[in-house]
Structure 1
Amino acid sequence: MGEKQVNKDDKAALERGLSGRHVEMIALGGTIGTGLFLGAGRSIQAAGPSIVLIYIITGIFMFWMMRALGELMLTDTNQPTFIAFIEKYLGKRAQLVIGWTYWIGWIVIAMAELTAIGIYMKYWFPTIPVWIWEVIFLIVLFGINIIAVGAFGETEFWFAMIKIIAILAMIATGIFMVVTHTRTSAGVASLSNLWKYGFVADHGKHLLPAFKMVFFAFLGIEFVGTTAAEAKDPDKVIPKAINSIIMRILIFYVGALLAIMCIQPWTNYNADESPFVQVFAGIGVTAAAGIINFVVLTAAASSLNSGIFATGRMLYSLTHENPKSPFSKLSRNKLPLNAIICSTVLIGIAVIVSILLPEGAFEIITSIASAAFIGIYMTLVYAHLKYRQSDDFKNGPQKFKMPGAPLTDYLTLAFLAFIFIILLTTKETQFAAVLAIVWYASLYVLSRNTNRKKQIK
């Protein structure tokens, strides 16, 4: 009903309804999540002021990864997702393994965000069952995703704007308090707070694990890679969005952390409470906890919204070559409606999971998905290396070239491997890292068997 068959050459049928400001805010939303608003306290406690350098270092490698992705995307902006480039340069098996991993990974992340939304709403409505809020938010965001791609872009724009306002408020507060030498319960706001109490926490004992925390804060940065086929002017807006990543990291992550640690000594922050709440509450903003709860609620809703969008496009991308698949069809609004419905239903299982499974078990599932993203990022960079070695690069227009390649490719791969080694050698994340390896190995064997059966037929 209201659907049309999409064949292999009809990828461009997706509506180009995302404007430049939509794509830029989507890219911004992918780099700013609850990891900054809620998890910064734990990161500060683990590394001290040196956490700023860790954010900058990690940010540089994430930028290079995005430049590799950007160069691939601009070779064919009609592709619904970046998974097509993995298939083209690494083969069908790699496409199956990474594509389904990415789809399932985003399903799990969206489930976690849906669960978090229910918890955040409980702050204001403690007597209303959590599952009711989960159902309401899922239905509303599903509705937005099936109206038109422009409706999704507009929603993401305002979700990102709320996060930006909160961070800029923190930075402005820090500048004002440092300039005026405002006294707090912990002392005087000053730049010297950055080094007066030591630059590295606990003699660097937790410095390496801090890289893991910071890396996880960047998960989702690749999400802009699913927008090229629906952006109005991809050759212009995609490079602009990706190039601004470094500036966003410096302003929003580094700027916010510097402000937090200048306002009061980093040793005074409670790792289990949002530093944003602690700062605003400390200067007399009595509604600080409620305001930040609203910000992280919108951050979780933004991630859920992105999850519905990404999983729908990925499922469509994985099945569009099969004319018999119900997920290879577009609606009259040029949306992969069936793929979106299927993904949303699976995300909705979180309502049941959050009731049946203990919180610890759900955290393990999400940590496995997070560990699996390292493999996705490494495969993207490797696909870019293969592209650079191909005739497509030698004979093509060479748009938006990655700076320093192939050296920057190899350095990025080494950094991502370094992060995975940290996961593998850290007690808290070792189990998730091992299971991620098992997952990839199992999917690789399964994809090989699938290919063999197709060849026999």
Structure 2
Amino acid sequence: MASSPPGTSGLKSGLGNRQMTMIAIGGVIGAGLFVGSGKAISTAGPGVLLAYIGVGALVVLIMRMLAEMAVAHPETGSFSSYANRELGPWAGLSVGWLYAYQWCVTIGFEAVAGAAIVNRLLPAIPSWLAALVFMAALIAINLVQVSSFGEFEFWFALIKVTAIVAFIALGAAALLGLVPGFDSPGLANLTAHGGFLPEGGTAVLLAALAVFFSFFGTEVVTVAAGEAVDPVHAVRRGMNSVVWRILVFYIGSIFVVLALLPWNSAQVSESPYVAVLQRLGIPGAPVIMDVIVLSAVLSCLNSGIYSSSRMLYALAERGEAPALFTKVTRTGVPAWSVLAASSIGLVTVVANYFLPTEAVFNFLLDSSGAIAVVVYLCIAVTQFRGRRRLERQNPGALTIKMWAFPHLTIAVVIGLLAVIAGMAFNADSRHSLLLTLAVTAVAVAAGVVHQNRTRARTTERSTSTSEEKL
């Protein structure tokens, strides 16, 4: 392996437009949509649609801000690099490490979740073995070359997208009375069981907290921009399409569930998509959904290894992570970064076999639970500062602009602070928020120390140079 020279990137442009398009489209569909939506529905009833619309609008605005910065300066470090430039090295280091940490924990969680699905489908295969196979396979894929990651992500995303589109089409046919043996309820289920807001407005806000984290991963396409063949075009198209992706995939599919079945039925709370398929008489519905969720889990694993490794690489290039992470293979893969990104997942899998891991695993999940809010808040503040600078220095770079700036940017910051406040007042999420804030405080402290040391070294070199000239 070779180390990339300072100031240059050893990564290679191996992601084509086809792969980048599917990474962008599939990035918004996580396993949380298929699994976590049942809890959100049981919390707020049909009013959960308002939660998805509100949170979806917030995420659309955040992605628009990120698109503005990414199109102007496509970089592998994405928002971490932008924060470093606009807010200071302390911000770039802290948000970069937090993002990498979030994905590292997610990798372990998704490996265990995917293994549980395999064990349910094929009981003869122990869950630890399935998890180990998943980890080994996807690490190997990410170590080959970036196009390998892109190709596998293309097919994983295609399965998710096809499944969601087919589900919505089938649901629309059922609502129109076109499915044999099923009497369409029309829109009656949206108001027939306690009204549209059966649990009140507060329940919608609580559901919004759960919904918020299911959107995490939409930003992956901007992280991949540094290795795209045509980064500006790919990011522009991917971010511009985020509106219809959220409308169709999330709001469209949840609407189908709520319209076809009573929101308070046990089947909907447990697994809404399986409940709809079974009600429509689709044979093998649980198995079909298990396969789809498994593809979503593997997609998340694949994206997690990639995103975390590239963030570690970008941090190392700026001297904010071990220099070892800048070493790349002949095919342009930061191998040590890939292995480091996979480390928590591997430890989780091994510990899952030898030790009871519930306490450690719960700590990892809780301590990373609200990092998405911190990352999005950093994106908003960075865009606010960066937009002002670009307007003064290089207005031509603003080929994509945040709508109604600065008003909507400020509104997003207020919305994100409201999410944090909601987590603080909600007993179910308060513990996770406190642990996340503790981890964030450690990352920020490390960033401040690094920045001060860097400035001190720069001052010493400047002083030495001046004395030599005298």
TM-score range relative to shorter protein: over 0.9
Residue of structure 2 in register with 1:348 after alignment:
346
Aligned mates of 2:337, 2:403 — CA distance in 1: 36
1:455–1:385 CA distance, 2 compared to 1 (3 A): closer
Residue of structure 2 in register with 1:310 after alignment:
307
Residue of structure 1 in register with 2:191 after alignment:
195
Q: Which runs of 5+ in 2 are unaligned?
A: 458-470
C-alpha displacement at 1:211, in angstroms?
A: 0.7
Aligned mates of 2:152, 2:215 — CA distance in 1: 21
Residue of structure 1 in register with 2:7 after alignment:
9
- What do the CA deviations read for 1:241-286 (whole angstroms, capped 9, x no partner)? 1111110111111111111122222232535421111111122223
- Report if the CA contact (8 A) 2:175-2:186 is conserved: yes
1:104–1:166 CA distance, 2 compared to 1 (3 A): same
Structure 2 SS opposite 1:405: coil
Structure 2 SS opposite 1:370: coil
Residue of structure 1 in register with 2:418 after alignment:
418
1:18 alignment partner, one of 4, 15, 18: 15
Residue of structure 1 in register with 2:331 after alignment:
333
> Which region of structure 1 is more displaced relative to structure 2, 288-297 or 218-227?
218-227
Residue of structure 2 in register with 1:93 after alignment:
90
C-alpha displacement at 1:225, in angstroms?
A: 1.9
Residue of structure 1 in register with 2:205 after alignment:
208
- Report if the CA contact (8 A) 1:269-1:275 is conserved: no
Aligned mates of 1:360, 1:289 — CA distance in 2: 30
Q: Matched residue pairs, number?
A: 453
Residue of structure 1 in register with 2:404 after alignment:
404
- Report if the CA contact (8 A) 2:46-2:190 is conserved: yes
> Which region of structure 1 is more displaced relative to structure 2, 361-370 or 93-102?
361-370
Residue of structure 1 in register with 2:42 after alignment:
45
Aligned mates of 2:222, 2:276 — CA distance in 1: 35
* Mapping for residues 176-325 of structure 1, pairs under 5 Å: 176-180=173-177, 188-197=184-193, 198-270=195-267, 272-322=269-319, 325=323
Aligned mates of 1:204, 1:76 — CA distance in 2: 41
C-alpha displacement at 1:444, in angstroms?
A: 2.2
1:263–1:360 CA distance, 2 compared to 1 (3 A): farther
Residue of structure 2 in register with 1:370 after alignment:
369
Residue of structure 1 in register with 2:81 after alignment:
84
1:145 aligns with 2:142: yes
Structure 2 SS opposite 1:335: coil
C-alpha displacement at 1:228, in angstroms?
A: 1.0
Residue of structure 1 in register with 2:379 after alignment:
380
1:67 alignment partner, one of 64, 68, 72: 64
C-alpha displacement at 1:326, in angstroms?
A: 1.6
The alignment's TM-score, normalised by the length of structure 2, stands at 0.91
Aligned mates of 1:393, 1:233 — CA distance in 2: 27
1:31–1:451 CA distance, 2 compared to 1 (3 A): same
Aligned mates of 1:80, 1:377 — CA distance in 2: 15
1:119–1:434 CA distance, 2 compared to 1 (3 A): same
The alignment's TM-score, normalised by the length of structure 1, stands at 0.93
Quote the sequence identity (%): 30
C-alpha displacement at 1:437, in angstroms?
A: 1.5
Aligned mates of 1:239, 1:10 — CA distance in 2: 24
- What do the CA deviations read for 1:275-332 (whole angstroms, capped 9, x no partner)? 1111111222231111111111111110010111011101111111449822112211
C-alpha displacement at 1:349, in angstroms?
A: 0.9
1:196–1:272 CA distance, 2 compared to 1 (3 A): closer
- What do the CA deviations read for 1:42-88 (whole angstroms, capped 9, x no partner)? 11121122211221111111111111111111222244433111100
